[in-house]
Amino acid sequence: MEKYDKKAAELIERSYQTPEIVNQRLRTLVALALTRGESVLDAGCGTGLLLEQEALAVGREGRAAGIDFSEDMLTYASARCAGLEQVRLQQGSVERLPFDDASFDALSCTQTLLYVDDLDRALTEFYRVLKPRGRIAVLETDWNGAIMNSHDQALTQRIFGAWDVALVNPNLPKRLRPLLTGLGFANLRVEAIPILNASYAENSFSANMLQNYASTARRRNIITADEADEWLAGINRLIEEDAYFFCVNRFLFTAVK
């Protein structure tokens, strides 16, 4: 399991402010349809980017709670939400949510379940803390479908395949729908949110993640240090040739208790 320490928190803080992820947050907010006075939980709130927007949507009359296992993530979230009195942050696990039954009108969870050891327990906890007719929005990525232009496609697939080793629950979107319906969630909808970089831009999601892709595969001994350097050099050549291309699909699952 990848450790979300200070370095990882810095990467999330940077990459999650790129235009593609801003769009992802907006679509999540639209799906949740929060109103003033409601209560919302962001399970795995990270650096607080979505939680801040949720807090603004429910207003001071409402309640916006964020929980994350990483104290380094919460440091960012605390600073970001410091002026919002409706926000409460807590360190903890989504497998054991420290909240009463039927506590929230809505719950969001972004790119967190892929790291969770007991997936069934986490989803059961989500169901438990939601009020009757409470809404849920879960977003996860299908790394098996990632594509990228490269001078060595076999090496690229090995690098992207490292996520299958690094994650507890890789490629979760394929399995998530029956898990949610099995718990009793209804009115389930699924929409694709592609992260598409058809050309290179320094402030794009994939540009911020290139080094992380290579270093993750290197740490897992899937590629050598020389192969990591070779792959990154090849990507840089494609950037110079204006031949850069990257796409991966994320999927937003929404449902009602």
78-108: per-residue pLDDT in tens?
A: 999 999 999 999 999 999 999 999 999 999 9
Distance CA 227, CA 162 (A): 14
Among candidate residues 118, 103, 99, the one with its CA nearest the CA of residue 179: 118
pLDDT at 3 over 60: no
pLDDT at 4: 58
Q: What is the mean pLDDT of the chain?
A: 94
Delineate the domains of the chain, giving CATH numbers in brackets: 6-142+167-195+249-256 (3.40.50.150)
> What pLDDT is stored for residue 170 in this prediction?
84
Where do we find the tokens 């907010």? 29
Distance (Å) of CA 26 to CA 172, 184, 252: 22, 27, 12
Mean pLDDT of all residues in 19-44: 96
If you average pLDDT over residues 4-31, what whole number do you get?
86
- Residue 222 pLDDT > 90: yes
Lowest mean pLDDT among 58-67, 83-92, 179-188, 208-217: 208-217
Identify the pLDDT of residue 5. 65
Q: Tokens 């979760």 label which residue?
A: 172
Q: In whole angstroms, what is the distance from residue 182 CA to residue 10 CA?
A: 36
Lowest mean pLDDT among 15-19, 92-96, 112-116, 177-181: 15-19
| Residue 1 pLDDT > 50 | no
- Determine the average pLDDT of the residues in 139-167: 91
pLDDT of residue 2: 45
> If pLDDT is split at 50, 70 and 90, which confidence band does 172 have?
very high
Query: In this predicted model, what pLDDT tens digit does every residue of 45-75 receive, in sequence order?
Result: 999 999 999 999 999 999 999 999 999 999 9
Angle at alpha carbon of residue 124, lines to 6 and 134, rounded to 5°: 95
**What pTM value is reported for the model?**
0.92
Euclidean distance between CA atoms 231 and 139, whole angstroms: 29
Q: Rounded to an integer, what distance in angstroms lies between the CA atom of residue 175 and that of residue 38?
A: 30
CB atoms closer than 10 angstroms to residue 5: 12
Distance CA(10)–CA(159), nearest Å, equals 22
Closest among 127, 167, 68 to 257, alpha carbons compared: 127
For 188, half-sphere exposure in the C-beta direction (CA atoms, 13 angstrom radius) is: 15
Q: At what angle do helices 205-219 and 6-15 cross, to 10 degrees?
A: 150
Rg over alpha carbons for the chain, rounded to the nearest Å, is 19
Instruction: Please enumerate in sequence order all residues whose Cβ is within 8 A of that of 90, keeping only pairs 6 or more positions apart, or say none.
Output: 65, 66, 67, 98
Count the neighbouring beta carbons within 10 Å of the beta carbon of residue 4: 20
